[in-house]
A and B are shown apart, each in its own frame.
Chain A
Amino acid sequence: MPWLKTRRRKMSSIIAMTVLALFCLIAAVYAVLTKKTINAVIASGVISLTASIMFLIYAAPDVAMTEATIGAGLTTVVFLYALKQIKSDKGDSDD
């Protein structure tokens, strides 16, 4: 990527990293404080997705690919399957 070599890369990547980091932390706090459990599961998927983009900006493409497929894909699906199995036994109340 040739734009990695110019000096203007520093400013735009710092702005991008700050926006992504704020998004990630707001999603994390929301995942802890919300009332319904399924909102927290979706928020943890959003955290994994922003972490994957941060890995890409820091020049680690293998890690970005793995985190995107596993974190934002399979982990969310595994949580949702577990919630479905629990709710199919009886209706329960959330925290």
Chain B
Amino acid sequence: MIKYILIFIALVGLAWLLWPLTKDFSTPEQLNSIASQYVSGSVTDLNSPNVVTSIVVTYRGLDTLGEVTVLFLATAGVGFLLKKKSGSRSQRRDGSEILQSGAGFLAPLIMLFGVYVFTHGHLSPGGGFQGGVLIASGVLLMVMASTSFRFSHLLIQLTESLSGIAYVIIAILGVILLGANHFLDPRILPLGNWLSLFSAGAIPVIYSFLGLKVGAELSAVIESLSADGGEE
């Protein structure tokens, strides 16, 4: 009983601490100076219409590098904890008839849409993370539909490692080709025309590698968590 009273007091105390933050908040009328600098810099320096993409890849590129590291650690942790002994029995059942025929038709379309989303990340809402998650959804659909579907673990590991290495190599190329202040600068490739696919420098290339890496990692997580997954 005393535990519930203490929990109630803790929650009321937290609400009392957070209350002045909501009371004094008013939505601003115009952008602050850093945001307007990012918006104008995205048009003049980087030639990319999607401002959020140019922030994630260029202006805050180090945060994306850290996020890639955290995702890799979490996937390694899940794969390590859910290892299975080789030769364990398979517990999956086949999906129903509707699921099997539907999955055979839909899964390539979903993966194609995922590739479209991460290559056009600088032109419309989307980008590497959304495209990677869509590719993992296509893999999930194939895993759920039939028991005879085996995704080769070598392919997933190879995709993930090569994409990560390519991302870091492109980042270092900025330092080599453009000087010491330009880590992760997408101006190593030509800027191109406004609103065409091959524009905004190296941003589509970086985002493609990021999308492939995220898709491969989430596919590995789903494969480990389903009842038949796990690798040595």
Contacts and interface: CB of A to CB of B under 8 A. Distances in A.
Interface residues of A, number: 15
Interface string B132-150: 0110110010000000000
Contacts, number: 41
Interface string A37-77: 00000000000000000000000011001100110011001
Contacts of A84: 227
B227 A69 contact: no
A74 B227 contact: no
Given A78-B221, A81-B222, A88-B91, A65 B130 contact: yes
Contact of B130 (A62, A77, A85): A62
Nearest to A69: B133
Interface in B205-232: 218, 221-222, 225-227
B52 interface: yes
Contacts of B218: 74
Contacts of B52: 62
Interface residues of B, number: 19
Given A61-B125, A65-B126, A78-B221, A70 B133 contact: yes
Given A62-B50, A65-B125, A81-B222, 14 more contacts: A62-B127, A65-B130, A66-B130, A69-B133, A69-B134, A74-B136, A74-B137, A74-B140, A74-B222, A77-B222, A78-B221, A78-B222, A78-B225, A81-B225
Interface of A: 61-62, 65-66, 69-70, 73-74, 77-78, 81-82, 84-85, 88
26 contacts: A62-B50, A62-B52, A62-B125, A62-B127, A65-B125, A65-B130, A66-B129, A66-B130, A66-B133, A69-B130, A69-B134, A69-B137, A73-B133, A74-B133, A74-B137, A74-B140, A74-B218, A77-B222, A78-B221, A78-B222, A78-B225, A81-B225, A81-B226, A81-B227, A84-B227, A85-B225
